[in-house]
Amino acid sequence: MKRLNTTDPGFEADFAALLNQARETTSNVGDVVAAIIADIRARGDEALCDYTTRFDRMPITPDRLRITEAEIEQATASVPAELLEALDIAARRIEIFHRAQLPQDLRMDDPEGLTLGMRWNALDAVGIYVPGGKAAYPSSVLMNAIPARAAGVARIAMCVPTPDGVLNPLVLAAARRAGVSEIYRVGGAQAVAALAWGTATIAPVDRIVGPGNAYVAEAKRQVFGRVGIDSIAGPSEVVVLADAGQDPRRIAVDLLAQAEHGEDSQSILITDSARQAEAVARAVEAEIPTLPRAAIAGAAWRDYGAIITVSDWEEGTALVDRLAPEHLQIMTAEPEALFARIRHAGAAFLGAFSPEAVGDYVAGPNHVLPTGRTARFASGLSVFDFLKRTTWLSATPAGLSRVGPAAIALAEAEGLQAHARSIALRLNRPN
């Protein structure tokens, strides 16, 4: 774990090194993924079944690719009632928040006599990738599918690997609650390829969203352009701003809640109190051995964790903007005042009773967020990822006569005579 202080002579170099740490996978899987995509395009369901047999240890035929309603019903019935209730609470809150985001169409009449507008439409079909096996996250099903449904997407297709044929009941229950149209027991780059290009069994979609391993991420990168994607997600991260008045153990657990995601996760504390920095460092070390994922959280904290002591919050907020974290927790006396000074964060959690973990599940805003400093230019998943906008205009003869001459002049300056002529003909101008 790194200890930095803005008053140290070498702080700027040390902070730059922290910013430039390479946490993303360095495995070169591009060629392997390209071959899988090409094979799915060439052989369709046959290739999909071959890869599922090979990678998930589950021999399968095309008629078994889609998970049946009876299987979904049976899996859902096996989920304890309290978990179904928790899913329902989370789904309801996520849906309310995302429906509130829906934009209004635009129509305006300008002074020259043109009517201009912008219309929003939902995508026709969306594909959701859901990790399977040990990394099964029903919360991600809700976070990816519910915004699509709120946007008005008619068809939501989900791919989830089922290693050794094991279905995760809670994932299937979440898919049913979220309004997923169809579910397929396939994963990996082959699932992304099938969603993008289609097979005899799986119809193609317009956008693919959802997390996955390095092969899934690379497949999304390679099919982009054929379909839209949400992002190429990297390791998870959190920055916690905390003053001297906060409970060190709460801060420590909040840092470790991010670290337990994976050995490449990053947790950073920024504080204006040297005493708090020491207290949190001790609390983290005391807490790690008590966690079931102690090895993972400990490795992440050791390799990528950091505690930064600042002289004041002007320094602290400036560092946050340079980090542009996926998650930002502000645990200070006046969190909203500090948040107002910060421009770059995927999602913010304000106050001592707003841990990031509540946002992962039930708060309502989306937990699919930009990582790796991409919050400088990217946003979290929302209904806007499942909508597209079309602009339109309607001009009267009088309106065209007012603005048309300028368009003719610009078209002729660009050497596009047919452009100029298409307007001039309507204005009865000489050739």
Q: Residue 248 has which token pair?
A: 């060190």
CB atoms within 10 A of CB 408: 18
Nearest to 352 by CA among 243, 223, 263, 425: 243
What b/e string do you get for 94-105 counting C-beta neighbours within 10 Å, with b at 16 or more?
bbebbeeeeeee
Nearest to 393 by CA among 105, 120, 107: 107
Nearest to 132 by CA among 200, 6, 216: 216
Pairing of strands 306-309, 2-5: parallel
Q: Token match 């390679």: residue?
A: 222
> Can 419 be counted among the known catalytic residues?
no
CA distance 142 to 179: 9
Catalytic option among 326, 344, 356, 367: 326
Strand ranges of the sheet holding 114-122, from the earlier edge strand across to the other edge: 106-109, 114-122, 387-395
CA distance 129 to 233: 13
Q: Residue 204 has which token pair?
A: 């193609």
Catalytic option among 327, 344, 356, 367: 327
DSSP per-residue string spanning 342-354: ----SEEEESTT-
CA distance 341 to 334: 12
No. of H helices and E strands in the chain? 17, 14
> Can 326 be counted among the known catalytic residues?
yes
| 175 touches 202 (CB < 8 A) | no
CA distance 199 to 147: 26
DSSP per-residue string spanning 333-394: SSHHHHHTT----SEEEESTT--HHHHHHTSSS------TTGGGT-----GGGGEEEEEEEE
Active site residues: 326-327
